[in-house]
Amino acid sequence: MSANAETGARDDIVVTLFDLFRRAGYDAVSIADISDATGLGKSSLYHHFPGGKPDMAQAVADFARNAMRETVFDPLAGAAPSPKKIAAMMKTVSAMYEGGGAPCLIASMLISPSASARAVKTIKAIVADWIDAIADALAADGVARPEARRRATQGVIAIQGALVVARALGDRKVFAAALKSAEKALLGAPARANRP
């Protein structure tokens, strides 16, 4: 197998792992479950992930962080005005979480007592990066840095909290309404950098 084919095969496995871990939770997914989902035997899985599930968790965390960077963080750093960037982010987030129907990898990995410390550190960095990206987008449009950070933090809290509530109630409308409210709150009247 060529190096490119090896990389492609591993990438496909990581996508499957991402879905398994976020839907069932890291601790609930066994090597047998992973083997069934990927069609690979234990030896093949360990060929790609010599450290077993901790290696898999790190690969999934890295995949999630890179995906967020490409689809959310980098667009927030673009040249468009913040209302357009925030609206695009909300559309991406809605699709990413299937309108409030799909669970979040961040939550499932953070509550896992057995996930590797390195993978958990990467997952926590996703949240910090997200807040930073929103705050930077708002600050670039003139929102004072402390206010931009406050809004960004509240925005991520609103999104993640709404996802939990929408899934608990089985009501995707809750998530859609929360995204709209969060978007408005993020784009509220800018705070002045220098107050008299």
Task: Kindly list the structural domains of the chain, giving each domain's residue range(s) and its CATH number in brackets, ordered by start.
Answer: 57-186 (1.10.357.10)
Q: What is the C-alpha to C-alpha distance for residues 141 and 109, in angstroms, rounded to an integer?
A: 34
**Has residue 180 got a pLDDT over 50?**
yes
Is the pTM for the entire model greater than 0.85? yes
Give the tens place of pLDDT for each residue, 48-97: 999 999 999 999 999 999 999 999 999 999 999 999 999 999 999 999 99
The confidence score (pLDDT) of residue 166 equals 95
Band of pLDDT at residue 114, cut at 50, 70 and 90:
confident
Backbone angles phi, psi at 181, to 5 degrees: -65, -40
**15, 57 Cβ separation under 8 angstroms:** no
Q: What is the C-alpha to C-alpha distance for residues 62 and 174, in angstroms, rounded to an integer?
A: 30
**30, 110 Cβ separation under 8 angstroms:** no
Q: What is the mean pLDDT of residues 13-29?
A: 92
The confidence score (pLDDT) of residue 140 equals 94
Look at the alpha carbons of 185, 165, 161, 63 in this order and tell me if their dihedral is positive or negative.
negative
